[in-house]
Amino acid sequence: MLDTLTQQPPDALLALIKLYDADPRPAKIDLGVGVYRTADGATPVFACIKAAEAKLVAEQDTKAYLGPEGDMGFVHALMPHIFGGDDPSQGGRIDGMQTPGGTGAVRLAVALAKKAGVRRVLMGTPSWPNHAQIMADTGVELVAFNHAAADGSADLDALAAALKSAQRGDAVLLHGCCHNPTGIDYTPAQWDTIVDLLAETGVLPIIDLAYQGLGAGMDEDAYGTRAVVARLPQALIAYSCDKNFGLYRDRVGAFYVFTRDPAQTQAALSNGHALARANWSMPPDHGAAAVRMVLEDAALTASWLEELASMRARIRQVRDTLAASGTAGHVNLVPLGQQQGMFAMLPLNKDQIAAIRADHAVYMAGSGRINIAGLTTDNIGTFVGALAAVSG
């Protein structure tokens, strides 16, 4: 029976990690998978996480099972940072559960939406390739609309048209901030319009908030999420700590449900627990426990927010340097200064992406996405030169 299975290609984005590692050229530049890098090209463990891990090792006295919901101290400690305000749970209307990374949270959001009757999910494209894979695997139909307008801002008209032509029972997947792969976020005014449209059409928002704090700021990056829960009756939120706590391989995420009343939220979440049990039973504990310990300690929380602010400032500085370069070959880099987060899409074709890798040792996704954080003051000139050479 197993001989019916055919060889599948490796995930294109994750395959880049191995290709880059195998390249012996010392001046190679990694702009592939979305990990933050310092100005020295390193992806260190956050100081607050190191401190929390030391405490965890010293204090943790059992590794016994928790449950499908994972570490609820972690889930609740994050909520003030995500939802803000005096009552981040909105009187118990918002609650959540821990998931294996942001991917686990998106997977759970889509699966739960499907269980609730959603058959189609509207989504601006391009998007993170795994969004489409998760929808295909979960068995919901993806209805694509255009995300990026020609001027490098968000194509709100396309989103509005998609929402207005939505069918009863549709959901829409929205990036909370730091759009992956384009870096093109909605402005606060656009979010207000989107919330109006969601209120009008009744389309269920699924927000993927995977990069909070890496765009304009913790509060600014949560504007859309907070506007949604302030004004709409329901929403699903997938959250990742993999980037903003630097915990990538530890897989730290959370899934939040927002409904009309606390009992309904708990009922919906109980479905999330059942889905989790059937998929991964319970999430890995270590990273989430470390995040909880950071968030329970004022000094460690301050250290986290400071480290995050320095990452954000470095990403902004690289963006501004790229934007100040004007154009490289046919690529206009100016809009990158207005965009946010770790990613940008460059209008390169497959041959140019192959050439920049073969001739200049620059590794970027096949879609033309670059990880802004892979650029440093040392390699940015080389990169812009390589871009001009392949696209001129």
Q: Which residues bind ligand LMR (CB under 6 A)?
A: 13, 33-34, 128, 130, 180
Candidate list 30, 71, 128, 185, residue with the active-site label: 128
- To the nearest whole angstrom, how small is the minimum distance from the Cβ of residue 237 to ligand LMR? 17
Q: Going by C-beta distance under 8 Å and a sequence separation of 6 or more, which residues neighbour residue 271?
A: 112, 115, 116
Peptide bond into 100 cis (omega under 30): no
- Tell me the three state secondary structure of residue 117: coil
Q: What angle do CA 136, 82, 216 make, to 5 degrees?
A: 90
DSSP 205: E
Give 180 or 259: the residue with its C-beta nearer to ligand LMR: 180
Q: Which is nearer to ligand LMR, 259 or 371 (CB)?
A: 371
Nearer to ligand LMR, 98 or 240 (CB): 240
Comparing every residue's Cβ against ligand LMR, the nearest one is 34
- Catalytic status, residue 208: yes
Nearer to ligand LMR (CB atom), residue 70 or residue 101: 101
Residue 128 known to be catalytic: yes
CB 34, min distance to ligand LMR, A: 3
Choosing from 71, 155, 170, 208, the catalytic residue is 208
SS3 assignment, position 112: helix
Minimal distance in Å, beta carbon 240 to ligand LMR?
8
191 is catalytic: no
Q: Return d(Cα 174, Cα 76) in angstroms, integer.
A: 23
List 30, 155, 185, 243, catalytic entry:
243
Cα 39 → chain centroid? 22
Least Å from the CB of residue 160 to ligand LMR: 27
CA distance 34 to 304: 19
To the nearest whole angstrom, how small is the minimum distance from the Cβ of residue 13 to ligand LMR?
A: 5
What is the C-alpha separation between 42 and 178, in angstroms, rounded? 21
**Between 180 and 352, whose beta carbon lies closer to ligand LMR?**
180
Structure tokens at 143: 């209805």
d(CA 36, CA 239): 17
CB-nearer residue toward ligand LMR: 303 or 367? 367
Which contacts (CB < 8 Å, 24+ apart) does range 337-340 have? 338/152, 338/153, 339/152, 339/179, 339/182, 339/183, 339/184, 339/185, 340/177, 340/178, 340/179, 340/183, 340/185, 340/214, 340/215, 340/216
CA distance 104 to 186: 25
* Shortest distance (Å) from residue 247 CB to ligand LMR: 13
Active site residues: 128, 208, 243
